[in-house]
Structure 1
């Protein structure tokens, strides 16, 4: 069994003293790794942590995941859907293709961690229901974080009843814990030494973005180029080895899916999103694409820079039409703070091989 005191100590290093619900989650998560005989007699096969954004769900679960000594996998829900759909395309026809693909996908995995679990689409609901059935049958331990209570999944009244059997499965086999703390840990952190978000869209901002790009891409060229995003063309203002600079219209106003953003996040360590005109954010589809982009970059710990006609937080507050917008605001707050350790800055700060060698004296 994992040591609860060790988990709490790791959280303390991040400035979190667990509250009552976080302590409940730590105990439930640690119990997943007790002796096999104890687990077999336990009612629960997984832990479902839900609550408002920034309440420490992912940090608690990720800490336990890091300490777990077993064959394990953690991934964002968008990434999981992409993998499953790719496998389904290549799976031979049969009576239960989804069950077969789920079994193959889970092969060798003892612990599975889904971050930001959500179900908004009936096709995803059908896939997820069959996948969870398979995981429960195989005895895979599962840790989930979500902004939704189980009963809030697939809230569309037209389809919700069809997902109720899976919701009941979750309630039977998972310990459900509501993180109900008042504090959003992502707000109030010390800001980065250099700005991440810029406004308004003027000559000062334009020059700042040029300087920013050249800071990370000293050999890069400030010229437009075309790249592919999940097989679709995307025109960029500039393309470097680590940093991509593109307009919001190209990234989020044009028709794109989460697959495009997964592809971009796998190829670049950071993205500059330029010329965000906030009038576009009133369109639900455009706003939803921004939510996907932020989610995926945050999960991959990529750097994000935004230039908009008014401060981006002010522009987003009070908008409607996209799922999980409150999480986007919370994540944007952390992405401009010192506590957000992104891979772009990590790559720049990493010493080269020559620098790490000891000096030799004649």
Structure 2
């Protein structure tokens, strides 16, 4: 049985003493996780905490959800994941990009009908009592249309849902040309979900102890090129240290080298070239780590290039993959103050954690642990 004391102890073991908003989220999430199967009674709803008794024809009281939003690094995912891991039910947690890929794949093969989206949503939700979307966002009208119908279907089925987001519900799909069309979905969230604002001042990802061996390298000089080569060889040996053309989401990708656990590719091939989050999902599923080499920071002024880097970092962070970046200038300094991409503040927060000792990627233990081996320490932010 999940209770608040157990969750608090789990967080304490990670050095976290919950603040007021985190405690409110723990209470709401524990209440949600403790609800019975689909169609069970709902508890509280909305920011006001008023009782949410919204009946639907032929069902019991409508299910409840929890929507956690706030600035990056305020502990949203940490609190949600802690409760999610303890919950004893049929459950699934995934990144929003992964969900969109799965839904679109199913839609391609779904027979034409009056409600293809609803039909695919019901199939996708079959067997899930508790669903968690990390980094929920809606930036374009196609995703908005899909997500609106999906949420309506999930609520009608009694699926319990947890969403984490940088955006408050009213901030979803901010484009004024389309925002009004997503208002019904926003009202669904505000009506059926406990909405909690993580408003703590501290970003938990900053200020951590640096990893023993560096993960971000600047400038692009022979010394740092050799450091990248050492990282690759330590994990893969020298046999695969040669250029190769492979496939990412069905399209060719030229790489400097590719081993069983670690991929080494240039930034130009991965983020300047026309690619999508589907490419990065594919790579993160096949490799435990990526060496992202030869990043010229002036390329980041292009909004499409910057957005691709944001997607890549999001996906590799969510999968706890290792990321090594070599750039002509310190990457975090180059990103600070830039505009042109959604959720850039989250990228900076995640990069801060990814270079720290606290970040343990799935690459650790594959071959030799890079953090255990001293290496040349470059200039960093």
Contact 2:235 2:368 (C-alpha < 8 Å) held by counterparts? no
What residue number does 2:2 align with? 2
Question: How far did 1:35 drift?
Answer: 4.9
Q: What secondary structure does 1:347 align onto?
A: coil
C-alpha displacement at 1:220, in angstroms? 3.5
1:15 CA drift (Å):
1.0
- Provide TM-score, normalisation by structure 2: 0.90
Q: Does residue 323 of the first structure (1) align with residue 324 of the second (2)?
A: no
Aligned partners of 1:296 and 1:32: how far apart in 2? 27
Specify the alignment match of 1:25 in structure 2. 25
Which of 131, 135, 138 in structure 2 is aligned with 1:112? 131
2:366 is aligned with 1:347: yes
Compute the displacement of 1:36 (Å).
3.9
Corresponding position of 1:61: 80
Tell me if the contact between 1:245 and 1:271 (Cα under 8 Å) persists in the aligned partners.
Answer: yes
Q: What SS does the corresponding residue of 1:40 show, helix, strand or coil?
A: coil
Matched residue, 1:15 = 15
TM-align CA RMSD: 1.4
* Structure 1 unaligned regions, length at least 5: 351-362
- TM, length-normalised to structure 1: 0.95
Aligned partners of 2:34, 2:94: CA distance in 1, in Å? Answer: 23
Please report how far the alpha carbon of residue 347 of structure 1 lies from its aligned counterpart in structure 2 after TM superposition. 2.8
**How big is each residue's C-alpha offset from its partner over 1:255-296, in whole Å with a ceiling of 9 and x where there is no partner?**
000000000001110000000000000000000000000000
- Compute the displacement of 1:41 (Å): 4.7
| Alignment match, 1:354 | none
Please say if residues 32 and 39 of structure 1, whose CA atoms lie closer than 8 Å, have aligned partners that are also in contact. no
Per the alignment, residue 244 of structure 2 pairs with 225
Q: Which has the higher helix share?
A: 1
Secondary structure (helix, strand or coil) at the match of 1:310 reads coil
Alignment pair present for 1:296 and 2:315: yes
Give the corresponding residue for 1:358: none
Aligned residues of 1:220 and 1:239 also touching (Cα < 8 A): no
* Residue 192 (structure 1) aligns with: 211
Picking from 270, 273, 285, the partner of 1:251 is: 270
Q: Is the 8 A contact 1:55 1:184 kept in 2?
A: yes
Q: Deviations over 1:308-346 (max 9, x none)?
A: 000000010000000000000000000011111100113
Q: C-alpha distance in 2, partners of 1:349/1:221?
A: 16
